[in-house]
């Protein structure tokens, strides 16, 4: 049977069972044709490339089921396959696998959905980065999320096992921070909140009470006395003088409690400076870098279970579309630094010469990912190409173009009146609408613009550009 006709037969996928119990796979063969292996090595020797598989791991009979599941998730060929488990799964296994096999209502349907999503993931392009792999995995495994696992050896006290196995560079803490900053993932449930050392972002902290006067650790509880004649407060033992009580500060003899002295509320004494106090100062000492911090200065960090955000799902399906914007780099392109420099220069020139007018236009192509998602990568790229050609026709030889943060394209229009900027911005906006004509989408992006007439004396280029960016968000 050829590979193609095999895929079209009744059995859409095969099950690979890992177990050391004889007959483990028998119960599974009603669902799909099943092969049983004792370990990954044995499977790897017999596996056929290109086969559509789902794994079922018998947690009870294998010596190191976690290692096996990690091996699958790290394996470039098999990591995207479904991994179901049978038996008691610990937190770490649950974070890496697709859940208990018993809980899956329709395994073959689930396997089909997953492989269909996987095929279309990343716009059908090969994965180039750890982000591509992770996003495609979360997208094609509908029941998977980034699950934190408590771990006292982890810098932030929690770890994400899925990030750990897929990690290629950075550390997983950095990776997760990047995913959050780019809003590719979003918190689903808050699991815990930890506090980190602001110096090194470790969560291993030791809290100690110290003397509020001299920060000494040597503090203890001791009865104290309060002298009425001078107000001195100190440990009782320093008032004792040959069976009498006298104040070590003013030397007054203290005879009657309530008249000459009383017991103060302060009952802690510092062994170094003898200061008496009610509550010690609390310091958080970092066991990683040794710094001591006020507890209020620690950085709180919410530990969440994360799932793909709307933006993350879009990137998972279409792939990173940043490279498509490169076609705009043909149009009078200058680097963002030079662009800002020329913009600053024009602003300064305007202060000396009243007749100087210029304009700034921001094209925000935020609809591109959706275009790729709707039309596919090839037609989407062609659409961007033809848009770039039409923008080129509108831009004068003296206008400057730059590109920041992938989907933002900037135009600097020297010697252009406020009306001139309005007109060009209007044409570009029309272009963004026309370019998606005949598709179900309404526009490819938005245009924001400003004439130098509206910029204040005090502003520099960075401030003006930041203002346009904030309008585009
Ligand atoms: Zn002290
Ligand atoms: Zn006194
Ligand atoms: Zn530290």
Q: How many CB atoms lie within 10 A of CB 38?
A: 13
Out of 225, 245, 279, a domain closes at: 279
Residues with CB under 5 A from ligand 2 (ion): 227, 229-230, 232, 247, 249-250
Give me the domain span that covers residue 241. Answer: 212-279
Same structural domain for residues 90 and 220? Answer: no
Q: Residues in the chain with pLDDT < 50? A: 1-11
pLDDT of residue 121: 86
CATH of the domain at 15: 3.40.50.2300
> Quick one: 327 and 261 in the same domain?
no
CA of 203 to the centre of ligand 3 (A): 8
Q: What is the pLDDT of residue 119?
A: 86
Q: Please, are residues 252 and 227 in contact by the beta-carbon 8 Å criterion? A: yes
- Ligand lying nearest the CA atom of residue 260: 2
- Closest ligand, as measured to the CA of 212: 1
Mark which of 124, 148, 178 sits at the end of a domain: 124
pLDDT of residue 51: 66
The alpha carbon of 211 and the centre of ligand 1 are apart by a number of angstroms equal to: 5
Residue ranges near ligand 3 (ion) with Cβ within 5 Å: 197, 199-200, 202, 286, 288-289
Structure tokens at 277: 């106090």
Alpha helix (H) residue ranges in 230-376: 310-318, 336-352, 368-375
Residue 147, in any domain of the structure: no
User: 322-354 burial by CB neighbour count: b if 16+ within 10 A, else e?
Assistant: eebbebbeebbebeeeebbebbeebbeebeeee
Query: DSSP readout, 187-236?
Result: EEEEEEEEEE-TTT----EEEEEE-TTT--S-EEE--EEEETTT--EEEG
Listing DSSP states for 449-463 in one string gives: EEEGGGS-TT--HHH
Specify the pLDDT at position 366.
81
Number of domains composing the chain: 3
CA-to-CA distance for 17 and 26, rounded, in angstroms? Answer: 10
CA of 230 to the centre of ligand 2 (A): 4
Residue 8: what pLDDT?
43
Say which ligand is closest to the CA of 196: 3
Q: Are residues 334 and 467 in the same domain?
A: yes
List alpha helices for 75-129, DSSP H: 91-96, 107-120
| Strand order across the 292-293 sheet | 205-210, 281-286, 292-293
Domain identity same for 110 and 15: yes
pLDDT number for residue 50 = 62
pLDDT confidence of residue 423: 93
The span from the CA of 324 to the CA of 407, in Å, is 9
């Amino acid at each position: 049977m050829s590979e193609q006709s095999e895929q079209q037969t009744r059995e859409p996928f095969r099950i690979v069972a890992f177990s050391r119990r004889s007959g483990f796979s028998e119960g599974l063969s009603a669902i799909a044709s099943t092969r049983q292996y004792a370990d990954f090595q044995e499977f790897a020797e017999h596996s056929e490339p290109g086969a559509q598989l789902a794994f079922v791991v018998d947690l009870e009979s294998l010596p190191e089921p976690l290692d096996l599941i990690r091996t699958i998730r790290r394996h470039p060929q098999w990591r995207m396959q479904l991994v179901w488990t049978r038996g008691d799964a610990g937190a770490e296994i649950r974070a890496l696998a697709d859940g208990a096999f018993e809980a899956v209502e329709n395994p073959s349907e689930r396997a089909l959905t997953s492989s269909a999503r996987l095929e279309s993931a990343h716009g059908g392009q090969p994965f180039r980065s750890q982000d591509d792999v992770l996003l495609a995995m979360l997208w094609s495994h509908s029941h998977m999320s980034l699950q934190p696992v408590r771990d006292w050896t982890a810098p932030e006290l929690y770890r994400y096992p899925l990030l750990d196995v897929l990690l290629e560079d950075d550390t997983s803490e950095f990776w997760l921070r990047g995913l959050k900053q780019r809003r590719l993932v979003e918190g689903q449930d808050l699991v815990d909140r930890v506090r980190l050392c602001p110096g090194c972002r470790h969560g291993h902290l030791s809290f100690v009470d110290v003397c509020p006067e001299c920060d000494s650790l040597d503090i203890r509880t001791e009865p104290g006395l309060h002298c009425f004649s001078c107000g001195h407060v100190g440990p009782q033992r320093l008032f004792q003088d040959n069976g009498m009580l006298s104040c070590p500060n003013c030397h007054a003899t203290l005879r009657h409690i309530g008249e000459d002295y009383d017991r103060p509320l302060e009952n802690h004494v510092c062994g170094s400076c003898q200061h008496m106090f009610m509550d010690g100062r609390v310091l958080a000492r970092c066991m990683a870098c040794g710094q001591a911090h006020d507890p209020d200065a620690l950085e709180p960090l919410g530990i969440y279970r994360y799932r793909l955000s709307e933006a993350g799902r879009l990137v998972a399906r279409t792939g990173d579309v940043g490279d498509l914007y490169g076609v705009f780099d043909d149009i009078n392109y200058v680097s963002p630094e030079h662009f800002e420099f020329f913009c600053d220069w024009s602003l300064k020139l305007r202060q000396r010469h009243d007749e100087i007018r210029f304009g700034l236009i921001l094209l925000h192509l935020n609809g591109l990912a959706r275009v790729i998602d709707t039309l596919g990568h090839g037609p989407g790229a062609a659409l961007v190409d033809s848009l770039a050609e039409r923008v080129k026709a509108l831009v004068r030889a003296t206008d400057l173009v730059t590109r920041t943060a992938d989907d933002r394209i900037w135009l600097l229009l020297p010697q252009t009146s406020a009306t001139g900027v309005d007109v060009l911005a209007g044409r570009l906006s029309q272009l963004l609408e026309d370019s998606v004509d005949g598709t179900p989408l309404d526009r490819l992006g938005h245009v924001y613009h400003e004439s130098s007439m509206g910029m204040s004396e005090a502003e520099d280029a960075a401030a003006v550009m930041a203002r346009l960016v904030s309008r585009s968000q």
